Structure 1
Amino acid sequence: MANTTSAKKATRKIARKTAINKARRTRVRGCLRKVEEAIAAADQAAASEALRIAQSELMRAVSKGVFHKNTASRKVSRLSKRIKALSA
């Protein structure tokens, strides 16, 4: 347990940031799940729209430091590749 005042404050700040980051990560995962479901249903229009929303959420999470930029780019790239394959 923290003893000094500054350490107690740091603990509170860390707990608050952890909760915020957890919520952001959950929101991104939900968006990615919607894309996956649309791909599984072979609905290209719905998948494209879901990907657009998911990409926005991913990049917002990157800007907040929740995900690494390359991780987000990789996820978007792989999903868009799968959506493109639906039309073929």
Structure 2
Amino acid sequence: MANTASARKRIRQTEKRTERNRARKSRVRTFLRKVELAIAGGDKNAAATAFQAAQPELQRAAGKGVFHANTVARKLSRLSARIKAIGASAQA
């Protein structure tokens, strides 16, 4: 248990930060799920729209330190490639 005032304050700060980060992660996962569902449905326009909505959320999470920047870049790159492949597979 924390004995000093500064340690007690640190515990309070950590709890607040953890709660905020948990909410951010959940929000990002929700946006990613919408993109995944649109891709699974094969609707390229819906997937692109969902992707455009998800992109700033992911970037914001990276900026806040919730996700590593490279993780966000990797996820965006892979989702983008999958969305592009929807049109290619429909034409082929």
1:52 is aligned to: 52
Q: How does 1:5-84 map to 2 (within 5 A)?
A: 5-84=5-84
Number of aligned residues: 88
Structure 1 residue runs without a partner (length 5+) = none
- Cα deviation for residue 47 of structure 1 reads 0.3
- Cα deviation for residue 46 of structure 1 reads 0.5
Structure 2 residue runs without a partner (length 5+) = none
| CA–CA distance in structure 2, aligned partners of residues 20 and 53 of structure 1 | 20
| CA–CA distance in structure 2, aligned partners of residues 14 and 48 of structure 1 | 36
- Cα deviation for residue 50 of structure 1 reads 0.5
| CA–CA distance in structure 2, aligned partners of residues 57 and 80 of structure 1 | 15
- Cα deviation for residue 65 of structure 1 reads 0.6
Moved over 6 A (4+): none
Q: How large is the Cα RMSD of the aligned pairs?
A: 0.5
| CA–CA distance in structure 2, aligned partners of residues 86 and 9 of structure 1 | 51
